[in-house]
Amino acid sequence: PLPALAREAAQAPAAARRQLERCRDTFAYLGARLRRTPPRFVVTCARGSSDHAAVYGKYLIETTLGRAVASMGPSVASVYNTRSLDLHDALFIAVSQSGQSPDLLRMTEAARAGGAVVLGFINEEASPLAALCDVRIPLSAGPEHSVAATKSYLLSGLAFLQLVAHWSDSAELHDAARRFPDALEAAGKLDWWPALATLKDASSLYVVGRGSGLGAALEMALKLKETCRMHAEAFSTAEVLHGPLGLVRPGFPVIALGQEDSAAQGTRDVVQRMVELGASVHTALPVSGAQHLPTLPDLPAALAPLCQVQSFYFAVHQLATARGLDPDAPAHLRKVTETV
């Protein structure tokens, strides 16, 4: 039988349809409100996979709407006890599967006190975090038992996509959101296992992406750490040139993500440079000398990073098993992480 990680990833398309149906009116209200009274800037607050979804959302918001997005560390309120935060006329987006972590709760309280409009993307609808939000979007992922989150990450990405589609009223992004459930189903049928099988004996690798694909790279690197006990580092394909490229040597493994947007050619150039240095590269964007990862054709650029993560989810548990590990029992970890 499939581990919970893969079973829950397989539930993501149905959950995406559920979110589209349940949250349509709330997103329409929110989009109209944000067009009528735009925030000065946007702040996201999250940890782990939820924060990686927020990175995806950051690029969508900044490139589509031209609004600056900052990620705020929950410890600003919980550990450093900062009492005065000027978030007047800002949109504060808290993202969480459980809605229980004390640091995220403290930060959300501080954001409210600082004058922000608080939006929550939360899976546990009766959680303490949901009670603090001005507008609540239920991720609608359903119960998630795997310690390594899958469907809640994908559904958080969809929530950001819907937010930006309704705020910008972009026909292209509305269409992408509608296509997302079917695209996820198709992505789950693509076989990334031959690529990941080459990592069975690896101890370290890079996962790279750029723009909206950076969040996907961060998410894959986290999953490789959690389930496979590998030292996986995620970098922007621009940032990797500022030092990390120095570790690339013959045989060094690299997973390169990408989507057909303005970042595509720059990503190809960096991947080509890694190939020239002898790296063993598996890439979503075809590059001479690198192994191609299977991807869906003619996919909206906004969907590509989320669909690549879905394909990865269906292979990473096989890698964990091949390395003698249980993907549903990551070492030293538990499902709800309550940091202060």
Q: How many domains does the structure of the chain reveal?
A: 2
Of 187, 217, 252, which closes a domain?
Answer: 187
For residue 85, being part of any structural domain is answered with: yes
Rg value, the chain, Cα: 19
Least confident of 17-21, 140-144, 146-150, 252-256: 146-150
Of 187, 202, 229, which closes a domain?
Answer: 187
Query: 87 phi and psi, to 5 degrees?
Result: -115, 25
**Residue 314 near residue 192 (C-beta atoms within 8 A):** yes
**pLDDT at residue number 328:** 87
> Is there a single domain that holds both residue 161 and residue 247?
no
Q: In 3D, which of 198, 46, 45 has the Cα closest to residue 116?
A: 45
What average pLDDT does this structure show over 36-58? 96
78: CB partners within 8 A, 6+ apart? 102, 103, 106, 107, 339, 340
For residue 144, being part of any structural domain is answered with: yes
**pLDDT at residue number 332:** 60
Confidence bin at 119 (pLDDT 50/70/90) = very high
> Is there a single domain that holds both residue 120 and residue 218?
no
Q: Which domain holds residue 317?
A: 190-323
For residue 337, being part of any structural domain is answered with: no
* pLDDT over threshold 70, residue 336: no
Q: What is the DSSP string of 20-87?
A: HHHTHHHHHHHHHHHHHS--S-EEEE--HHHHHHHHHHHHHHHHHH---EEE--THHHHTS-------
**Residue 240 near residue 208 (C-beta atoms within 8 A):** yes
What average pLDDT does this structure show over 36-48? 96
* pLDDT over threshold 80, residue 335: no
> Is there a single domain that holds both residue 11 and residue 155?
yes
For residue 331, being part of any structural domain is answered with: no
> Is there a single domain that holds both residue 153 and residue 242?
no
For residue 333, being part of any structural domain is answered with: no
> Is there a single domain that holds both residue 84 and residue 164?
yes
> Is there a single domain that holds both residue 152 and residue 252?
no
For residue 328, being part of any structural domain is answered with: no
> Is there a single domain that holds both residue 125 and residue 257?
no
Confidence bin at 31 (pLDDT 50/70/90) = very high
> Is there a single domain that holds both residue 211 and residue 246?
yes
Least confident of 85-89, 106-110, 244-248, 313-317: 244-248
The CATH number of the domain holding residue 179 is 3.40.50.10490
> Is there a single domain that holds both residue 181 and residue 194?
no
What is residue 119's DSSP assignment? E
> Is there a single domain that holds both residue 35 and residue 145?
yes
**pLDDT at residue number 75:** 79
Least confident of 44-53, 103-112, 278-287, 330-339: 330-339
* Amino acid, single-letter form, for residue 276: E
Confidence bin at 121 (pLDDT 50/70/90) = very high
For residue 329, being part of any structural domain is answered with: no
Of 168, 187, 206, which closes a domain?
Answer: 187
Query: 204 phi and psi, to 5 degrees?
Result: -150, 145
For residue 335, being part of any structural domain is answered with: no
Q: In 3D, which of 284, 290, 277 has the Cα closest to residue 256?
A: 284
> Is there a single domain that holds both residue 140 and residue 207?
no
CA angle 93, 95, 99 (to 5 degrees): 120
What average pLDDT does this structure show over 152-167? 98
Share of the chain above pLDDT 90, in %: 85
* pLDDT over threshold 70, residue 78: no
* pLDDT over threshold 70, residue 53: yes
* pLDDT over threshold 90, residue 105: yes
**Residue 119 near residue 94 (C-beta atoms within 8 A):** yes
* pLDDT over threshold 70, residue 59: yes
Sheet with 117-122, side-by-side order of all strands: 69-71, 42-45, 91-96, 117-122, 135-138
* pLDDT over threshold 90, residue 243: no
Alpha helices in the chain (DSSP H): 4-10, 12-22, 24-36, 48-65, 75-78, 102-113, 128-132, 151-168, 171-187, 193-197, 214-228, 264-276, 304-322
> Is there a single domain that holds both residue 183 and residue 268?
no
Pairing of strands 91-96, 42-45: parallel
